[in-house]
């Protein structure tokens, strides 16, 4: 088990271990699992920072953003979040509201009509802009590609005759899931739902490993 250095990811991984391995001390034995590998996007990559700036200035991104300009300008007065950064709007505004709605909390009075739909669409645009829209291949390789490399290394190791490894698990967040799917070219542009699971299987069939 490996988990991103975030409370939610670590808690999910911990409780899965408790449920899956019921032997004495099973969870405690596997608590050495926090890794920055799952903390996507990696903000400390200079090249990725350059590509991120290029993306925000690109015609394609600006074209997608334009229909929401008026909504974004009114959002600070409504939400109290005084920034037009899409990642911030997603993590500081939409995500908390979504969680409150899921747990049947009363939402603020300004959350009416298509407000949540627009916030969700802006959040999806934020996620898409992180790994795609502009120079997707290079950006996604710098992000999800690192995780794919780790997965491939585990698969090569598991394919060895002496290996006893049967399962590697990662507990992370939607930015990790989408980053992984983007580099694999299977991302559908929708925010990964809570409790999403992406499976990769290594199998042996007629003497061939695939």
Q: In the chain, which residue ranges form alpha helices assigned H by DSSP?
A: 7-20, 26-29, 46-57, 59-65, 69-79, 86-88, 95-102, 115-131, 136-142, 144-158, 174-183
Tokens in use for 128? 């898409």
171: three-class secondary structure by DSSP = strand
Query: Residue 209 phi/psi, 5° resolution?
Result: -95, 130
Let me know: does 72 contact 208? Beta carbons within 8 Å.
no
Say how many C-beta atoms besides its own lie within 10 A of residue 127's C-beta. Answer: 25
- Tell me the pLDDT of the chain (210 aa) as tens digits: 555 555 555 556 555 655 555 555 444 444 444 466 777 788 888 998 999 999 999 999 999 999 999 999 999 998 998 888 898 899 899 988 998 888 899 999 999 889 999 999 999 999 899 888 888 888 888 888 888 888 888 888 888 888 887 778 887 888 888 888 888 898 888 888 887 888 888 877 766 665
Prediction pTM value: 0.74
């Amino acid at each position: 088990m490996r988990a991103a250095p975030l409370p939610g990811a670590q808690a999910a991984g911990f409780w899965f271990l408790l449920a899956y391995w019921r032997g004495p001390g099973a969870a405690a034995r596997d608590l050495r699992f926090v890794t920055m590998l799952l903390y996507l996007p990696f903000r400390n990559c200079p090249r990725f920072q350059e590509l991120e700036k290029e993306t925000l200035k690109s015609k394609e991104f600006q074209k997608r953003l334009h229909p929401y300009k008026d909504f974004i300008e009114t959002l600070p007065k409504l939400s109290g979040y005084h920034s037009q950064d899409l990642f911030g709007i997603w993590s500081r505004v939409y995500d908390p509201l979504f969680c409150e709605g899921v747990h049947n909390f009363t939402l603020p009075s300004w959350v009416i009509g298509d407000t949540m739909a627009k916030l969700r669409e802006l959040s999806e645009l934020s996620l898409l802009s992180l790994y795609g829209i502009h120079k997707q291949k290079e950006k996604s390789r710098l992000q999800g590609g690192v995780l794919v490399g780790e997965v491939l290394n585990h698969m090569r190791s598991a394919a060895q005759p002496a290996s006893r490894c049967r399962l590697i698990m990662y507990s992370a967040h939607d930015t990790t899931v989408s980053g992984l799917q983007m580099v694999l070219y299977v991302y559908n542009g929708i925010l990964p739902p809570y409790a999403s699971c992406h499976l990769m299987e290594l199998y042996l069939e007629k003497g061939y490993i695939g």
